[in-house]
Each structure stands twice: as C-alpha cells, then as structure tokens.
C-alpha cells in the first residue's frame, strides 16, 4: 500500500470510529432513564454500569488520541522528558509532598477525618484502646445497646475482631499527635521511597518514574491512602519486605533477612492472609536454587525477625480469647473462614466474585473505562524477565487466594487487591513504555516511533482527563455523603450545637443501616462521658439503658438524609415508658 494511502487510512478509520462512538453515547443518553453522563462503572447508586458504555467511552478516547497524536505540541514532549532529568531526591520529594497533601485534603474535605466504613470504625476504636495502654476495654452496661459490627463483647471485655497491626500504627500516631487521621497519608508518602527503590533496581528510570506518577494519580491509591483501611499499612510493610529481600539477595549480610522477616511479620499481624499470598513468590525466589548452607544462613535471621511480631500476636490472642491460636476474628463469627462451604461460598460464587472484583479494578485502577489495557497488552505481547514473572505471580496469588473468600465489597476500591496495586501499575507502565515496540511487531511498521509515543501521551492524558471530569467527582460525592448513609459523621457536632452538656442520646438507625458508628466513636472508652451515645433499640431495651445512666437528660437523635441535618428530641415524646426524674 502506498504511504499516502496508509496515512489517509490512519486518519479516516479513527475519525469514523470517533463519530460512531459519539453517536452511540448520544443515543445512550437519549434513551437511558439515567440522564447522567456517568455510566462508566458500577459503584452503588451513584454510577450505573454497562459494557456498552465502557466500550463507547474507550473508543471515543482511543480514536481522539489517534487523531491528535500527530499534532502533539513539542512542549508536551519536552515536559515529559524533563521529568527524567531532575534528580531522584527532587522527584521523590515532589511526589511525596503531592501524595501527603492531596490525601490529607481528601481526608479533611471529603471524609471529614471520619472512618467511612464500618470496618474502619472498629479499627479506630481498636487504636484508641491501644493508645490508652490496654488491649481491650470494659464492657459497658447493657452491652447490646453499644455494639457495632465487628466489635466483640465477651464477658467483661470489649475489643475489635481484627488483627492488631494497623491499629498499633494508628495508636502510635495518636500518642504522638493526639489524632488518628494523617497516618495513612504519611505512610503512603513514605512508601513511595521503598517502591521507587525497588523499581529502579529492576527497571529503567523512565519506567520507574512513570509507574510512580501513575500510582499517585490512581484514584484507588489516593482514596485508600486518605482512608483508615488497614490495607495501606499492610502495603507499607510489604514494600519494606520486598525491598529488603532484594537487597539481601545482592549482599550477604545477616541484617537484611532479619529486617525482611520483621517487615513481613508486621504485615502478617496487620492482614495475615494477604501477607502470605503477596509474599509467597518472593519467599520462593529468595530461598530457591540455593545450597542448603546458604538457606540456613538466610532463614535463621529471617525467622527471628518474623517471629517478633508473631509472638506479640500470640500474646494478643491469648489475652483476649484465652488461647494464643484462637483469633478474635473467629470469636466474632466462627463460620467466617477461608474456603468453600463457609457462609454459603461455592466454587461458582468464587469465580463470580473474582470477576466482579476484576471489573471494579478495571475501572478503579486509574479511573479509566479500561484501566487494565496496558497491563493486558504487556502480558500478551511483552518480553518478560524474571522480575515480571515474580510480580505477576504475586498478583495471581492474591487474586486466586481471595477467590476462596466468601465476601467482596467496593470500599475505596476493590480493596482486597490493593496490596498488589504497585505491581499492577508497574507492569502497566511497562506496557506504555514498550507500546511502540508491540505495535510495530504486530505489523504496523510504517508508523513512526515518535507517532506511537505521542499516541500513548495523548491516550493517557485524555483518559485521566475523563477520570477527573466524570469518575472522581462521583467517588467524591459517594464518600462525602456519609458513604451512602451507612454512617453519619456528625452526631457529636450536632450535640454541641444543641448545647447538650450531660445527657444520654439514643441514635436512631436509617433504613436498616447502622447509623450508630459516629455515636459509638463519640463515646469515651469508659462509656461514662458527659454525653453517652447508645443505639435506639426500642422502648423496653432503651429503658434498661436509661436505668443504667440515671440523672441524665435523655434524647433521641435522628438524621435527615435529604436535609443533611440531625435533630435531637426529648425521648419522652417517643416513649410510653416514663423517664425517671433526676
């Protein structure tokens, strides 16, 4: 084919497809009940999802990038190249400041420094318990009126069902600064140094810096870094483990395996199942194909380092449950186990759950309709070396491992896959960097290297523009609106506004959701503060609480989802049981 016809076709085909995509989007909007320009992924009621919508948006971005790539301004390419010319110290400092500031802004303005997930409510309670110097607190009177999901109340003890790792980190931060918020943004910023060090030992500077930049622009990473989820501390510890394993493989020093084991142990007491799945390929690589004497010399300090956090975990279990191997998680629900046959989990449900989680990941990785495109391109066409295989094996272990778990959810992203997020993004960066090589290898040799590089710049820029305009605002609204009314964050502030100084407040639920989380965290650990917040559980049970807290004004708190306001009403207006006079 003559070159001039080849150039015409490379313009005509994307133009035709672009027009078709625009027409398809217009038709979807015209005949859809949901008149929002948001149908790109399912995230509750805020974003509706179909494969057609994703395909239309992706074709639109793909074709538009192909059309404007030949006309990309020179300053864009110069700006991209200038990122490689600055020193590592300046690059990491700028990126770390960006993550720390942005995550704290999200935490303040969107999340209001409140744990927007019932799991995290309990972790904050656990951190406050640790910060007070205790592993558990004394059960309050009428315990069922103060219970929330994932808090265990056994006998005279009240404690979290979760492993203690992340709460220990949050407790340390609280002891220093007096608050829990801010620790995950700090860990996220510091972790970038670990990750960049790892990437640079394995890959080129261009690939490594691109991966770090993409990670910092990922809504999955940024919203998780702004939250109170335990996944961020777990990833921090795993990144330290991977870095020390790599350094220990190059230099025969006893302290590298010692501290590698320590970091893995800290990850294990944070999220045990995840730590095992993610670390397994690295452990096999680190100890495999070595002589017996070398294995012994490495495994002994590694085991010592790993044992230190695990010994604390055994002590923690024994203190709370009476047996070092009986974990609080199983006390809360003995049926909540890994494997098929538990909680109605089947092989078919495992495949279904995995498919749904990967669907969430496809969108939430970068906020693009098909965020795994370059990752898939690298897996199919890329030339892989051993580092790629190890990273890919870690991803596969985590994905398959959670196929055996009955539960999935979307909380700040497909969170069970968060600990391999840097690996997914690094392999995606590999796909972007080597994209011109792949395209020319499959037959499009007449397209210049520069043209293909420009296409990648345009495609990535347009995709992130799409995410910032359509996707991220939807996430922001969802998390800001009390996370779909599961928790209301303002009970204590409403109490101050109404000048309640000494009272007993019953918090009324919202449409079956547990709206008590804010009231639970507003209580002192002794449940004997000036204002005590309890669940509204009906007249008879509420009367038992009133009897346990005499000499207090009693109120009922209700939250109006429409007006976004809370109201306090004298409880006697709702109760036929008389409230004792002070």
Return the half-sphere exposure (C-beta side, CA atoms, 13 A cut-off) of residue 138: 6
Residue 537 has a pLDDT of 84
Closest by CA position to 230, among listed 474, 43, 412: 412
Structural contact between residues 452 and 436, judged by C-beta atoms closer than 8 angstroms = yes
End-to-end CA distance of the chain: 95
Helix (H, G, I), strand (E, B) or coil at 46: coil
Residue 296 has a pLDDT of 77
Residue 48 has a pLDDT of 44
Task: Calculate helix-pair angle for 51-68, 449-466, nearest 10 degrees.
Answer: 140
Residue 34 has a pLDDT of 47
Cβ-based neighbours of 318, under 8 Å, separated by 6 or more? 324
Residue 136 has a pLDDT of 94
Cα angle, residue 124 at apex, residues 510 and 143 outer, rounded to 5°? 60
95-102's contacts with Cβ under 8 Å and 24+ in sequence apart are 95/192, 95/212, 95/213, 95/216, 96/189, 96/190, 96/192, 96/193, 97/189, 98/216, 99/185, 99/188, 99/189, 99/192, 99/216, 99/222, 99/225, 100/185, 100/186, 100/188, 100/189, 102/222
Helix (H, G, I), strand (E, B) or coil at 289: coil
Give the ranges where 106-182 is alpha helix by DSSP (H): 118-131, 165-177
What is the C-alpha radius of gyration for the chain, rounded to an integer number of angstroms? 27
Residue 6 has a pLDDT of 46
Residue 17 has a pLDDT of 59
H or E element, residue 302? helix 292-321
Helix (H, G, I), strand (E, B) or coil at 506: strand
Cα angle, residue 168 at apex, residues 164 and 169 outer, rounded to 5°? 125
- This prediction has a pTM of 0.89
Helix (H, G, I), strand (E, B) or coil at 335: coil
Residue 27 has a pLDDT of 58
H or E element, residue 555? strand 553-560
Question: Any idea what DSSP says for residue 510?
Answer: B
Structural contact between residues 231 and 418, judged by C-beta atoms closer than 8 angstroms = yes
Residue 47 has a pLDDT of 40
Q: Per-block average pLDDT, block size 10, for the chain (582 residues)?
A: 49 59 59 46 43 67 78 69 83 95 93 85 93 93 87 90 94 90 93 94 92 95 94 96 90 88 97 96 85 78 95 95 90 85 88 88 85 89 89 96 89 91 95 87 71 84 84 81 64 80 83 71 90 87 89 84 75 52 36
Structural contact between residues 233 and 270, judged by C-beta atoms closer than 8 angstroms = yes
Structural contact between residues 135 and 319, judged by C-beta atoms closer than 8 angstroms = yes
527: left (phi > 0), else alpha (psi -120 to 50), else beta? left
Q: b/e for 241-264, b at 16 or more Cβ within 10 A? A: bbbbbbbbbeeeeeebbbbbbbbb
């Amino acid at each position: 084919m003559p070159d001039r016809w080849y150039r015409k076709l490379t313009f005509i085909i994307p133009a035709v497809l672009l027009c078709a995509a625009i027409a398809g989007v217009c038709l979807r909007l015209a005949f859809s009940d949901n008149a929002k320009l948001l149908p790109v992924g399912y995230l509750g009621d805020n974003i509706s999802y179909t494969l057609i919508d994703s395909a239309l948006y992706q074709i639109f971005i793909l074709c538009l990038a192909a059309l404007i790539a030949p006309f990309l301004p020179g300053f864009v390419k110069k700006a991209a190249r200038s990122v490689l010319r600055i020193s590592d110290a300046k690059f990491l400092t700028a990126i770390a400041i960006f993550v720390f500031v942005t995550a704290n802004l999200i935490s303040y303005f969107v999340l209001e420094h409140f744990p927007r997930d019932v799991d995290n409510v309990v972790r904050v309670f656990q951190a406050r318990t640790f910060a007070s110097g205790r592993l558990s607190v004394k059960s309050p009177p009428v315990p069922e009126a103060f219970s929330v999901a994932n808090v265990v109340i056994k006998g005279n003890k009240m404690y979290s069902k979760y492993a203690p790792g992340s709460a220990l980190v949050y407790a340390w931060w609280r002891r220093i600064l007096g608050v829990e918020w801010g620790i995950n943004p700090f860990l996220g910023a510091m972790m970038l140094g670990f990750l960049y060090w790892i990437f640079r030992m394995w890959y080129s500077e261009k690939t490594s810096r691109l991966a770090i930049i993409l990670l910092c622009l990922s809504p999955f990473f940024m919203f998780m870094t702004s939250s109170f989820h335990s996944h961020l501390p777990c990833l921090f510890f795993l990144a330290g483990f991977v870095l020390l394993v790599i350094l220990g493989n190059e230099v025969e020093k006893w302290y590298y395996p010692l501290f590698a084991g320590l970091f893995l142990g800290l990850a294990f007491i944070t999220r045990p199942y995840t730590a095992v799945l993610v670390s397994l390929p690295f452990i096999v690589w680190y100890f495999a194909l070595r002589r017996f004497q070398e294995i012994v010399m490495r495994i002994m300090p590694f085991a010592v380092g790993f044992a230190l956090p695990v010994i604390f975990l055994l002590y923690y279990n024994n203190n709370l449950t009476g047996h070092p191997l009986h974990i609080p998680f199983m006390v809360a629900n003995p049926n909540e186990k890994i494997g098929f046959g538990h909680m109605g989990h089947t092989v078919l449900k495992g495949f279904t759950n995995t498919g749904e989680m990967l669907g969430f990941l496809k969108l939430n990785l970068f906020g693009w309709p098909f965020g795994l495109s370059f990752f898939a391109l690298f897996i199919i066409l890329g030339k892989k070396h051993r580092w790629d295989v190890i990273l890919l094996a870690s991803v596969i272990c985590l994905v398959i491992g959670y196929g055996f778990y009955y539960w999935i959810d979307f909380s700040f992203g497909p969170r069970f896959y968060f600990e391999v997020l840097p690996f997914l993004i690094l392999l995606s960066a590999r796909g972007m960097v080597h994209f011109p090589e792949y395209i020319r290898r499959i037959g499009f040799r007449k397209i210049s290297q520069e043209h293909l590089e420009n296409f990648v710049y345009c495609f990535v820029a347009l995709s992130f523009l799409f995410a910032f305009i359509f996707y991220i605002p939807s996430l922001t609204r969802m998390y800001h609106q009390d996370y779909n009314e599961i928790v209301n964050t303002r009970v204590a502030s409403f109490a101050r506004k109404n000048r309640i100084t000494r009272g007993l407040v019953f918090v009324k639920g919202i449409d079956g959701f547990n709206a008590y989380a804010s009231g639970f965290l507003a209580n002192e650990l002794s449940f004997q503060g000036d204002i005590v917040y309890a669940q509204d559980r009906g007249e008879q049970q509420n009367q038992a609480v009133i009897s346990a807290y005499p000499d207090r004004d009693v109120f009922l708190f209700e939250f109006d989802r429409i007006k976004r306001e809370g109201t306090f009403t004298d409880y006697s207006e709702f109760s036929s049981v008389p409230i004792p006079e002070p």
